[in-house]
């Protein structure tokens, strides 16, 4: 099924841009609006071809700003909220922006979803809300035990969503996925950082003993699950999304080195992240019962992903240097100010 019109917040970031690309490709009749404030993590290059082709309407705006949200959400049938502060290390340094965007921004979106009577509001959340696992698989009823300021903020957003579903009958669904990987991921995150450092012959900084585990899902598998939950999920319900592919970080780092084929980089063990969650583990039967199953094999997808960073060196070099901002200034700033980048 296709939606008539969707609002994708955070659509210039990693998962949001992959979602927008998938929807644009597979649902040619769906009108797509992206609302993104273009923080350090937002990169218009990720969707510039679709904006230039008139396939995506881009609105530069903040989910904390009621005027921007109201304008962008008007006419949307379904809202997908990907916009968030997302990097755990940054939240350990400074959590205020996480609380503002991930909690206050979500509240703001929910208020307008209620007022404008959207048919569906999809909150994109994370496995991190359950906290570190001692080996048990968490299902959707497991208690929330966030282990860092980022995941605590995501819990705040999730709980506000559930409260709006219960109190005002806003048609909310929540997805909680495990770690995503794929193209267009910011170079501050583990897999792109290690891949690009290896290409540059730099060291790969592994936290602690390197035996923390993450359950990796290819971004497009997650995007498909999100679209399915939007269509078939039950209001007020949470859906975990994971494939059960836990890997110790050391193993993933070795795999990256193998695919990049560099011998002048080395893995170095550095001081551990404060409060570092050892492992996340999810039961994801509920989303499978809706008809979802991953299409991607981890080994193949890792090879393809590393290849994407190898082939798109200009993209990540501009992210690392900050030069991707110049691209925005040159191509869009005036047009967006005049409301023409549609």
Cβ closest to ligand TDX, residue 87 vs residue 232: 87
DSSP per-residue codes, 100-129: IIIIIIHHHHHHHHHHTT-SEEEEEEEGGG
Span of 80-88, 204-212, 279-287, 329-337 interacting with ligand NAD by CB under 6 A: 80-88
Q: Does 88 bind ligand TDX (CB under 6 A)?
A: yes
Q: Does 86 bind ligand TDX (CB under 6 A)?
A: yes
Q: If contact means CB under 5 to 8 A according to the sort of partner, which of ligand TDX, ligand NAD, none does residue 88 touch?
A: ligand TDX
Span of 80-88, 254-262, 299-307, 323-331 interacting with ligand TDX by CB under 6 A: 80-88
List the structure tokens of 332: 């869009």
Cβ closest to ligand NAD, residue 128 vs residue 171: 128
Q: Is 121 a catalytic residue?
A: no
List the structure tokens of 135: 């080996």
Q: Is 200 a catalytic residue?
A: no
Question: Which residue is associated with the tokens 């030069």?
Answer: 323
Name the DSSP class of 99: I
Q: Distances from the Cα of 167 to the Cαs of 70, 110, 159, in angstroms?
A: 21, 12, 12
Instruction: Report, in Å, the least distance between residue 272 CB and ligand TDX.
Output: 8
Q: Is 300 a catalytic residue?
A: no
Residue list 212-241, contact with ligand TDX (CB under 6 A): 212, 214
Instruction: Report, in Å, the least distance between residue 147 CB and ligand TDX.
Output: 10
In this chain, which of 126, 153, 175, 240 binds ligand TDX, going by CB under 6 A? Answer: 126
CA-nearest of 187, 173, 92 to 125 is: 173
DSSP per-residue codes, 167-211: HH---EEEEEE--EESTT--TTSHHHHHHHHHHTT--EEEETTS-
List residues bridging with 35 in a β-sheet: 9, 59
In this chain, which of 36, 45, 102, 128 binds ligand TDX, going by CB under 6 A? Answer: 128
Mark out the alpha helices in 2-137 (DSSP H runs). Answer: 14-26, 48-52, 66-73, 88-93, 96-98, 106-115
Say which of 128, 215, 220, 221 is annotated catalytic.
128
Strand pairing report for 246-248 and 204-207: unpaired
- Which H or E element spans position 9? strand 5-9
Residue list 145-204, contact with ligand NAD (CB under 6 A): 154, 177, 179-180, 186
- Which H or E element spans position 156? helix 149-168
Q: If contact means CB under 5 to 8 A according to the sort of partner, which of ligand NAD, ligand TDX, none does residue 259 touch?
A: none
Q: Does 179 bind ligand TDX (CB under 6 A)?
A: yes
List the structure tokens of 88: 């755990």
Q: If contact means CB under 5 to 8 A according to the sort of partner, which of ligand NAD, ligand TDX, none does residue 265 touch?
A: none
CA-nearest of 159, 123, 178 to 10 is: 123
Q: Does 328 bind ligand NAD (CB under 6 A)?
A: no
Q: Does 32 bind ligand NAD (CB under 6 A)?
A: no
In this chain, which of 21, 55, 64, 212 binds ligand NAD, going by CB under 6 A? Answer: 64
Q: If contact means CB under 5 to 8 A according to the sort of partner, which of ligand TDX, ligand NAD, none does residue 38 touch?
A: ligand NAD
Cβ neighbours around 94 below 10 Å, total? 10
**Chain contacts with ligand NAD (rule: CB under 6 A):** 9-10, 12-16, 36-39, 41-42, 62-64, 82-86, 101, 105, 124, 126, 154, 177, 179-180, 186
Tell me the catalytic residues.
Answer: 127-128, 150
């Amino acid at each position: 099924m296709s939606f008539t019109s969707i609002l994708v917040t955070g659509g210039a970031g990693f998962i949001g841009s992959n979602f927008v690309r998938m929807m644009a490709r597979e649902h040619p009749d769906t009108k797509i609006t992206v609302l993104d404030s273009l923080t350090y993590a937002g990169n218009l290059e990720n969707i510039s071809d679709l904006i230039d082709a008139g396939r995506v309407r881009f609105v530069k705006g903040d989910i904390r700003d009621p005027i921007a949200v109201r304008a962008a959400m008007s006419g949307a049938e379904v809202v997908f909220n990907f916009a968030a502060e997302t990097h755990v290390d940054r939240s350990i340094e400074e959590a205020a922006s996480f609380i503002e965007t991930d909690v206050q921004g979500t509240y703001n979106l929910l208020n307008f979803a209620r007022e404008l009577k959207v048919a569906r509001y999809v909150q994109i959340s994370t496995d991190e809300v359950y906290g570190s696992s001692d080996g048990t698989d968490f299902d959707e009823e497991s208690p929330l035990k966030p282990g860092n300021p980022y995941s605590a903020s995501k819990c705040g957003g999730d709980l506000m969503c559930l409260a709006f579903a219960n109190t005002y009958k806003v048609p909310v669904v929540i997805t909680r996925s495990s770690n995503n990987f794929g193209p267009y991921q910011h170079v501050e995150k583990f897999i792109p950082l290690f891949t690009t450092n290896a290409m540059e012959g730099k060291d790969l900084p592994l936290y602690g003993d390197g035996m923390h585990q993450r359950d990796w899902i290819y971004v497009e598998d997650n995007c498909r699950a999100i679209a399915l939950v939007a269509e078939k999920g039950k209001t007020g319900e949470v859906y975990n999304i994971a494939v059960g592919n836990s890997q110790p970080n050391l193993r993933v780092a070795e795999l990256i080195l193998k695919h990049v084929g560099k011998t002048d980089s080395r893995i170095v063990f550095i001081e551990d992240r404060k409060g570092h969650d050892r492992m996340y583990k999810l039961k994801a039967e509920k989303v499978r019962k809706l008809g979802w199953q991953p299409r991607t094999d981890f080994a193949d997808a890792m090879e393809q992903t590393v290849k994407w960073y190898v082939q798109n060196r200009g993209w990540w070099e501009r992210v690392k240097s900050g030069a991707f901002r110049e691209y925005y200034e040159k191509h869009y700033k005036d047009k967006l100010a005049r409301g023409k980048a549609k």
